[in-house]
Amino acid sequence: MKRLSLYLFLLLFTLQTPSQADDISDFQIEGMSIGDSLLDYISEKEVIKFSSKKKGAFFYNKEFVEIYVNLPVIEDYDKLHVVYKTKDDSYAIHSISGIVYYQNDMKKCIETKKNIINQLSEIFKDTKIDDKGKIPHDIDKSGESISYVTYFWIKSGGHIEISCDDVSEKLTNEKRWKDQLAVSVTNKEFSDFLSNVYYD
């Protein structure tokens, strides 16, 4: 089936359908789709390595874990994160996030975010769009880091999140966090789960 590519400053993700997507699994980021097995892209040894407590971001009851994925080639992003269930031996993907760094260039990040939103709005004409605007970053308890977040709630379930994170100088120095654009595709199960949980 023909893919529709969305070109911005970077090729951020693709659609499997020529005009619009009906299901969250129609999207790809770096060739990866919701429902795919992580083992199609990296070895189980690498999955276990990246999901260690030191490197993985576990959620409060450890039902899900988010890990960094180091593919042999990443063309359009600086970093990839995926979420899977910790007790799922098939390592089915529930969420994919592509990250592009915009250190000290939040203006460009926000411009890129607007371009993505405009293109998604053409594809999802009847989809609920929830623009949160400028809000405190949910991980920075000091309130000094800011996020600019927009959600597209897909009718069949799940959501797409586009965000720019402007992190504080303190976190940049102490934890090496960077200002970034994130494009996340999340299925219904994990999307529903996120409404009631926080990071461990």
Q: Are 85 and 110 in the same domain?
A: no
Q: In Å, what is the CA distance from 170 to each residue of 68, 99, 109, 136, 143? A: 23, 21, 20, 15, 12
Residue 168 lies in a domain: yes
Q: Give the span between the Cα atoms of 57 and 41, in whole angstroms.
A: 20
Q: Could you give the number of structural domains in the chain?
A: 2
Q: Are 171 and 115 in the same domain?
A: yes
Helix, strand, coil: what percent of the chain each, to 5? 20, 35, 40
Domain hosting residue 81, numbered range: 4-97
Is the Cβ–Cβ distance between 178 and 167 less than 8 Å?
A: yes
Domain boundary among 46, 77, 97: 97
The pTM of the full predicted model, rounded to 2 decimals, is: 0.84
Residue 161 Ramachandran class (φ > 0 left, ψ -120 to 50 alpha, else beta): beta
Domain boundary among 53, 71, 97: 97
Q: Are 61 and 107 in the same domain?
A: no
Q: Give the helix/strand (H/E) hosting 13.
A: strand 11-15
Q: Give the helix/strand (H/E) hosting 149.
A: strand 146-153
pLDDT tens track, the chain, 200 positions: 223 333 333 334 554 443 455 678 888 898 899 999 999 999 999 998 888 755 567 777 889 999 999 888 888 899 999 999 999 999 999 999 999 999 889 999 999 999 999 888 888 877 899 999 999 987 777 888 999 999 999 988 899 999 999 998 887 787 788 899 999 999 999 999 988 775 54
Q: Give the span between the Cα atoms of 127 and 21, in whole angstroms.
A: 11
Rg (CA), the chain: 16
Q: In Å, what is the CA distance from 131 to each residue of 117, 180, 182? A: 10, 18, 15
In sequence order, the 6+-apart residues with CB closer than 8 A to the CB of 8 are 112, 115, 116, 119
Residue 10 lies in a domain: yes
Q: Which two tokens stand for residue 13?
A: 């993700």
Residue 118 lies in a domain: yes
Q: Which two tokens stand for residue 136?
A: 């405190």
Q: Are 115 and 45 in the same domain?
A: no
Exposure of 155 in the CB half-sphere (CA atoms within 13 A): 8
Q: Are 162 and 136 in the same domain?
A: yes
Is the Cβ–Cβ distance between 189 and 94 less than 8 Å?
A: yes
Q: Are 43 and 117 in the same domain?
A: no
Q: Give the span between the Cα atoms of 137 and 66, in whole angstroms.
A: 18
Q: Are 122 and 165 in the same domain?
A: yes
Q: Are 72 and 111 in the same domain?
A: no
